[in-house]
Amino acid sequence: MTVADQISYYGDRLAILAHHYQADAIVDHAHFVGDSLELARRVTELAAEHIVFCGVHFMAESAAILARPEQKVHAPVLEAGCVMANMAPASLLAVVLARLCQSGARVVPLTYVNSSAAIKAVVGRHGGAVCTSANAPRMLRWALDAGDAVLFLPDANLGANTARVLGLPHTSVQRLDLRASGNHVPPAQPSIRVYLWPGCCAVHHKIRLADIERLRRHHPEARILVHPECRPEVVAASDGAGSTSYLIREAAAAPSGSTLAIGTEDNLVQRLARRHPEVTILPVRQVLCSNMAKTDLAALQAKLAELEIAHPVRVDAKTAGAAREALERMLAACASGA
Contacts of ligand SF4 in 126-165 (CB under 6 A) = none
Piece in contact with ligand SF4 (CB under 6 A), picked from 77-85, 100-108, 207-215, 278-286: 77-85
Say whether residue 202 binds ligand SF4 (CB under 6 A).
Answer: yes
Contacts of ligand SF4 in 261-280 (CB under 6 A) = 265
Closer to ligand SF4 by CB, 114 or 116: give it.
Answer: 114
Say whether residue 48 binds ligand SF4 (CB under 6 A).
Answer: no
Distances (CA, A) of 126 to 34, 119, 121, 147, 285: 30, 11, 9, 11, 38
Say whether residue 56 binds ligand SF4 (CB under 6 A).
Answer: yes
Query: Judged by CB under 6 A, how many residues of this single chain contact ligand SF4?
Result: 13
Helix (H, G, I), strand (E, B) or coil at 107: strand
- Closest separation in Å from C-beta 10 to ligand SF4: 27
Closer to ligand SF4 by CB, 83 or 251: give it.
Answer: 83
- Closest separation in Å from C-beta 101 to ligand SF4: 28
Q: Are 137 and 242 in contact (CB under 8 A)?
A: no
Distances (CA, A) of 266 to 111, 115, 133, 247, 251: 25, 22, 18, 13, 14
Pick one of 27, 82, 279, 300: the residue that binds ligand SF4 (CB under 6 A).
Answer: 82
Say whether residue 293 binds ligand SF4 (CB under 6 A).
Answer: no
- Closest separation in Å from C-beta 84 to ligand SF4: 4
CA dihedral 252, 256, 257, 262 (to 10 degrees): -10
Say whether residue 63 binds ligand SF4 (CB under 6 A).
Answer: no
Closest CA to 56 of 242, 293, 230, 287: 293
Q: Are 229 and 204 in contact (CB under 8 A)?
A: yes
Pick one of 39, 43, 84, 333: the residue that binds ligand SF4 (CB under 6 A).
Answer: 84
Neighbours of 116 (CB within 10 A): 25
Closest CA to 294 of 111, 133, 56, 58: 56
Question: From CA 108, how far away is CA 333, in angstroms rounded?
Answer: 14
Question: From CA 80, how far away is CA 10, in angstroms rounded?
Answer: 24
- Closest separation in Å from C-beta 6 to ligand SF4: 26
* Residue span 100-119 as binding mask against ligand SF4, x where in contact by CB under 6 A, dash where not: --------------x-----
Pick one of 203, 225, 322, 323: the residue that binds ligand SF4 (CB under 6 A).
Answer: 203
Question: From CA 331, how far away is CA 326, in angstroms rounded?
Answer: 9
The binding site for ligand SF4 (CB under 6 A) comprises 21, 56, 82-84, 114, 201-203, 265, 289, 291-292
